[in-house]
Amino acid sequence: MFQDRDETTEAVRSGVARLCMEFPGEYWRALDEKRAYPKAFVDALTEQGYLASLIPEVYGGAGLDLATACVILETIHRSGGNAGAAHAQMYTMGTLLRHGSEAQKQRYLPGIAEGSLRLQAFGVTEPSSGTDTTRIKTTAVREGDFYRINGQKIWTSRAEYSDLMILLARTTPRSDCAKPSDGMSVFIVDMRENLGKSITINKIDTMINHSTTAVFFDDLMVSADNLIGQEGKGFRYILGGMNAERILIASECIGDARFFVDRATTYAREREVFGRPIGQNQGIQFPLAQAHMQTEAAMLMVERAASLYDQGQVRGSEANMAKYLAAEASWFAADTAMQTFGGFAFAAEYDIERKFREARLYRTAPISTNLIFSHVATHDLGLPKSF
């Protein structure tokens, strides 16, 4: 993505590619087998400043834009790696950057930039509400200079490896609000001193190595100084972060799609059956060509969404369309690679089966396909809401 955009972007692309060469398929396969966190990889990204790319220079970051962050994530995934262990630091901090106080930025951003603080957890989804965020049940009740927080979050990835969490909670009951999206507030929570006390983290075993958890809050006391922005305005604050999340994850999908097309095309050239390369057969050629075209088309939407975001036009439709099209392109490319490799696709050493499992996630998360369809139908086509 963003090929030949400028010298900075190309320097970032080549720098990330060099870093990823130090973490080949063997590294990721070993982690996948043990369901282990890629600490060495995340440490390397941190040390070279890539996870601080969106933090302004005044706070110790690189001050780059979302488009460059997309290049970082695409490059990681095209190399065969997975940025899921670290990507949240990019999109969660947007809420703090856009809506946090200067005191909050000074308190947290320099540590995040240098790596002494980890912001990897985004506490929004709950078991009973799913993607109907307005029905979350986690509450934050004001008591003097503190808020008492009780509730549960689920699918909170990387909570075990994060010092801080961006947390959405209800400060006003839904029934007392003029709009369902009112009455929710955002907090930045320091989890370190509360783990095992008022915060409990339970790991969830899944089909991929994604370090996801359920998090429980039992009378967690959070200072009012940790409220981001105004009380009750939290839902609109996190929407910008969610749009960034969808664009960044779409860039990962583009990287995955290119990984599959690259690997499958190389294999199709080299694998010979019946005395000739299998890539000479149209039954192999055509799906690969289709996967390539779908990837290139999806890439254009991701570039458009990222460019609009960087111009200050935080538009949900472009972010949603980018995520949908990129995830679909990635999944088609994944299935095409499986078909091209045949039986060898199921052998772990080729990395196809691992990436195949990982690619499936983004047809479901961080927002389901049907909700994207609903958003586009109502916001772009003017059709009535179905719920």
Catalytic residue positions, numbered: 245
b/e burial code for range 119-141 (CB count within 10 A of at least 16 → b): bbbbbbbbeeeeeebeebebbbe
Q: Which of 41, 36, 73, 129 is nearest to 249 (CA)?
A: 73
Q: Which of 209, 171, 200 is nearest to 30 (CA)?
A: 209
Distance CA 226, CA 188 (A): 5
Distance CA 125, CA 123 (A): 6
Task: Give Dmax (Cα) for the chain.
Answer: 79
Q: How far is CA 125 from CA 197, 270, 279, in A?
A: 22, 46, 44
The partner residues of 164 in beta bridges, in order of sequence, read 119, 190
The partner residues of 213 in beta bridges, in order of sequence, read 203
Which amino acid makes up residue 237? Y
Q: How does DSSP classify residue 181? A: T
Task: Give yes or no for a cis peptide into 173 (omega within 30° of 0).
Answer: no
Taking the CA atoms of 131, 170, 112 and 53 in sequence, report the sign of the dihedral they define: positive
Alpha-helix runs per DSSP H in 229-384: 234-270, 282-310, 316-341, 352-360, 369-379
Q: Which of 94, 85, 104, 98 is nearest to 189 (CA)?
A: 104
Distance CA 81, CA 45 (A): 12
